[in-house]
Copies of this chain bind each other. A is one copy, B any other.
Amino acid sequence: MKVLIVEDDPLHRSYLHEAVRAALPECDAVLEAENGASGEIQARKSRAEHVVMDLQMSERNGIEAARTIWRERPDTKILFWSNYSDEAYVRGVSRIVPEGATYGYVLKSTSDERLRLALRSVFVESQCVIDREVRGIQQKSLGNAHGLSDAEYEILVDVALGLTDKAIAQRKRLSLRSVQNRLQSLYEKLDIYQLPGAEAEGWYNLRMRAVTVALLRKVLNSSALERAERELRDSISS
């Protein structure tokens, strides 16, 4: 069995290396990559079928790297290992996991023992392991109590990129009014209305405020923004 570790922090990388060695005696080769880009290359070259992947790396983050790895070999088993359980990450991951693939998502703050268990479960037993906390986020974002639908999320991203209503309408093949409809439901879902400043009438620019609230609640994060910006540039240049 070969395991590929993709992690930019040297300390965490060697810690992971150690953990893999301890948890998987049947593992005969541990490879390391220090960012998403070189992770993709190593995965392609070594044909590793087991990957431990950090999210939030410079160069190319874990989500993008995982997507291309899975595109090439959908049966790769990937264990995501992240500092945060931002809704943006959770949503990003579940967006790219292929049908029937096995993966895991554990937090860096987890204990050695649970990391060991996760490694064995995902890589040996082919069983999905999602951290409790991450699971909670998943639930919340699905149950549309306060969670955003996919349509609303996409609008949010486009707005956050700084596009006008008209531009969004064009990109999404919608009428102007439909875009504004989605925006309104976004404002409601994010509770833009009751806010610090009590009888705030005209104190907030709703469009801007929605994005800010999304950032503060980690529904969006800068990593998701960077991805979206790159896609926007691609879609324009083509």
A65 contacts B by Cβ under 8 Å? no
A216 contacts B by Cβ under 8 Å? yes
Residues of B within 8 A of A83 (CB): 9
A202 touches B164 (CB 8 A): yes
A166 contacts B by Cβ under 8 Å? yes
Q: How far is B213's CA from A208's CA once the two chains are assembled, in angstroms? A: 13
Q: Can you tell how many copies of this chain the complex includes?
A: 2
A162 contacts which of B11, B160, B204 (Cβ < 8 Å)?
A: B204
A49 contacts B by Cβ under 8 Å? no
Residues of B within 8 A of A233 (CB): 196
Residues of B within 8 A of A203 (CB): 163-164, 166-167
A196 contacts which of B15, B166, B196, B236 (Cβ < 8 Å)?
A: B236
A42 contacts B by Cβ under 8 Å? no
A236 touches B163 (CB 8 A): no
Secondary structure dominating the interface of A: helix
A162 touches B212 (CB 8 A): yes
A222 contacts which of B160, B162, B205, B216 (Cβ < 8 Å)?
A: B216
Q: How far is B209's CA from A160's CA once the two chains are assembled, in angstroms? A: 8
A180 contacts B by Cβ under 8 Å? no
Q: How far is B160's CA from A167's CA once the two chains are assembled, in angstroms? A: 21
A216 touches B226 (CB 8 A): yes
A119 to chain B, nearest CB (A): 17
Residue of A15, A159, A167 with most chain B CB atoms under a 10 A cut-off: A167
Interface string of A67-109 (1 = CB under 8 A from B): 0000000000000000100000000000000000000000010
Interface string of A218-231 (1 = CB under 8 A from B): 00011001100100
Q: Can you report 10 A-B residue pairs in the complex whose CB atoms are below 8 A from each other? A: A161-B212, A162-B206, A163-B203, A167-B202, A167-B203, A167-B204, A196-B237, A205-B207, A208-B211, A212-B229
